[in-house]
Amino acid sequence: MSRKQKKVLVRIIVSAVTLVICALISHFIEMPLAAELFIYLVPYLIIGYDILIKAGKGILNRQVFDENFLMAIATVGAVALGDYREGAAVMLFYQIGELFQSCAVGKSRRNISALMDIRPDYANIEREGEIVQVDPDEVEVGSEIIVKAGEKIPIDGIIVDGRTTLNTSALTGESVPRDAEKGSAVQSGCINMTGLIRVKTTKEFGESTASKILELVENSSLKKAKSENFISKFARYYTPAVCLGALALAVLVPLVRMIIGTSPEWGIWVMRALTFLVISCPCALVISIPLGFFAGIGGASSQGILIKGSNYIETMANTKYVVFDKTGTMTEGVFDVVGIHHNIMEREKLLEYAALAEIGSNHPIAECIRAACESEIDKTRVSSVEEIAGCGIIAVIDGRKVAVGNEKLMGKLNIAHKPCHGVGTLVHIAVDGEYQGHILIADVVKPTAKEAITMLKKAGVARTVMLTGDSQKAAKPVAEEIGVDEVHCSLLPADKVEKVEEIISKKKTKEKLAFVGDGINDAPVLSRADIGIAMGALGSDAAIEAADVVLMDDNPLKIVKAIKISRKCMRIVYQNIIFAIGIKLICLALGAVGIANMWFAIFADVGVMIIAVLNSIRTLRIK
């Protein structure tokens, strides 16, 4: 509880105790009205002075019709009519409701504050043999910083010395740590769990991942959903309307009664008008709807899903078409050895020869072959290496001539080779002119990709589509494996935009299309979709900038989670709108005909607000 909330709580307790004492005194001791007014003004002013001040400032600033004005008029009117106890009690219960609402908002803010904890306070640099702490803003690109075990990484960079395990949960929402060593890229906001590391910075502090994420979350409240804008407009017209309604009850009804020859009963109708004002207070709507969206954004951020505004929650809730990029989105986006076929020598020996031949290459295919080789690679075994451009490599290993490359290399050497039934890149290997087999290298489908497609269809997504620049031969097996409804191949970035526009033109107006990509090559189509989702965007500035929703890790199941969070958030928002407006209308009718008194009014107002606020913060607990 904040210091401000504690002060309000103290005022509530003091006012409540004082009100009880005043009630006992007035019950057992007969006193003049002026004395009774004086003793009840004490608890009333203790609990309500700030509301009266806010109402006065609103009148001076020509912003009259707000909840402070309604509460001030209602309670001052009750006191003026001699209902001192009711006036003080109404203000007391109103402040109790406001405190409850403030605590609920605080809970939502604390949820997002957990994400804000990724902001580093300092960076360690070495000066004259000593480690000193400096402001991260002072560290230039290319500087070396030292991160001790238990500290946050303050700036994005590359490890130049040391090995450690990183806790990335604040960024990705995943609790499983990842290992990092020399050469590994690291992002600000991650926690160094085990060893001391030296990091060479690649960005300025203001451009680092943590800063980008915090800026995104802080600005999310500026982009409001249609539901929020509706409530703002509703309150702007609703409050003056109920004030006019209360005025009609207080003045017009008694005048009409006088005209028809009955007693005007001014006191009764003025009290009904004041009760009407208390009931009409729209705080349940004005507070719970934005709180619902705010809590939804906070709940999503704790899962590693960054939503740039409540308007995107509303759009994502109506998603019926999900279009995917292939490479890096539904596949790992990196080469891997997926098979060794027609091999004459042992698998391990074949991989060892290929790895030794590729010892000096930086090509991704060479790197994945070396990674797949389980044997220790001894450079001294390689006596010569000749690279044939566009074909492959011929190397002498252990005195034997080893050729590693594509079909063209085998053709140049007049070596008969065998085709492959699999899809991917083939690396043929021949030793001393004899064909020994080939290695199949391909982009691997992510383990959860198929499950994600199945879950999306269960969640009500009408159609899933995959767009890729790869050939049909490479893309079709992936599409069949994960179960998308359709696939379009050999597309340039501009072609992807055209294909998305074609799908958009065929769907219904209320149905929304989400495009999921890596956010680097897909910026144009991410912008063109109804909602762009960048997946696996940890450390990617382009992804954070281009997309409306950023998934900080590369798990396709997060797409399903993002849609479910949005839909639950919107259900809660609509529940609150219907509930709050419905109860208000019923209570207003009861107040107008005299069934509801001032006590009923305040309990109805505070009760509706508490129920709506409790409903709103359920979005924090979405898993």
Q: What pLDDT is recorded for position 169? A: 63
Distance CA 363, CA 378 (A): 19
First-residue to last-residue Cα distance in the chain: 25
Structure tokens at 31: 């006193």
Per-residue DSSP letter, 153: P
What was the pLDDT predicted at 73? 77
Segments in the chain below pLDDT 70: 1-2, 64-66, 101, 103-119, 169-176, 209-236, 282-284, 286, 519-521, 536-544, 620-623
d(CA 573, CA 295): 11
At residue 539, the pLDDT reads 47
Classify residue 4 by burial, with Cβ atoms within 10 Å: 0-12, 13-18, 19+. exposed
Domains annotated on the chain, with CATH: 3-113+222-293+569-621 (no CATH), 123-154+156-202 (2.70.150.10), 305-330+446-552 (3.40.50.1000), 333-445 (3.40.1110.10)
Sign of dihedral through CA atoms 56, 221, 295, 277? positive
Six token digits for residue 454: 């199945």
Query: How confident is the model at residue 378, as a pLDDT?
Result: 85
Query: b vs e for 29-64, b when ≥16 Cβ sit within 10 Å of the residue's Cβ?
Result: eeeeeeebeebbbbbbebbbeebbebbeebeeeeeb
Q: What is the pTM of this model?
A: 0.68
The torsion defined by the Cα of 285, 290, 295 and 301, in degrees rounded to 10, comes to 160
Question: What CA–CA distance (Å, rounded) separates 605 from 588?
Answer: 11
Residues with active-site annotation? 325
Pairing of strands 191-192, 164-167: antiparallel
CA dihedral 417, 419, 424, 428 (to 10 degrees): -10
- Rounded Cα distance, 593 and 601, in Å: 13
DSSP characters over 92-134: HHHHHHHHHHHHHHHHHHHHHHHHHTTS---EEEEETTEEEEE
Please list the helix, strand and coil fractions of the chain in percent, rounded to the nearest 5, in that order.
55, 20, 25
- Residue 572: which of 615, 614, 613, 608 has the closest Cα? 615
pLDDT in tens, 474-528: 788 888 889 999 999 888 777 888 899 999 988 888 899 999 987 556 777 888 8
pLDDT, tens digit, for every residue of 285-323? 767 777 778 778 877 877 878 888 888 888 899 999 999
The DSSP code sequence of 313-353 is HHHHHTEEEEEEESTTTTEEEEEEEEEEES-SS-HHHHHHH
Q: What is the dihedral of CA 140, 144, 147, 148, to 10 degrees?
A: -140
Structure-token pair, residue 456: 């999306």
* Distance, CA of 548 to CA of 529 (rounded, Å): 10
Provide the 10 A C-beta neighbour count for residue 137. 12
CA pair distance 501, 519, nearest whole angstrom: 18
Residue 353 to residue 370: CA distance in whole angstroms: 10
Task: Count CB neighbours of 494 within 10 A.
Answer: 10
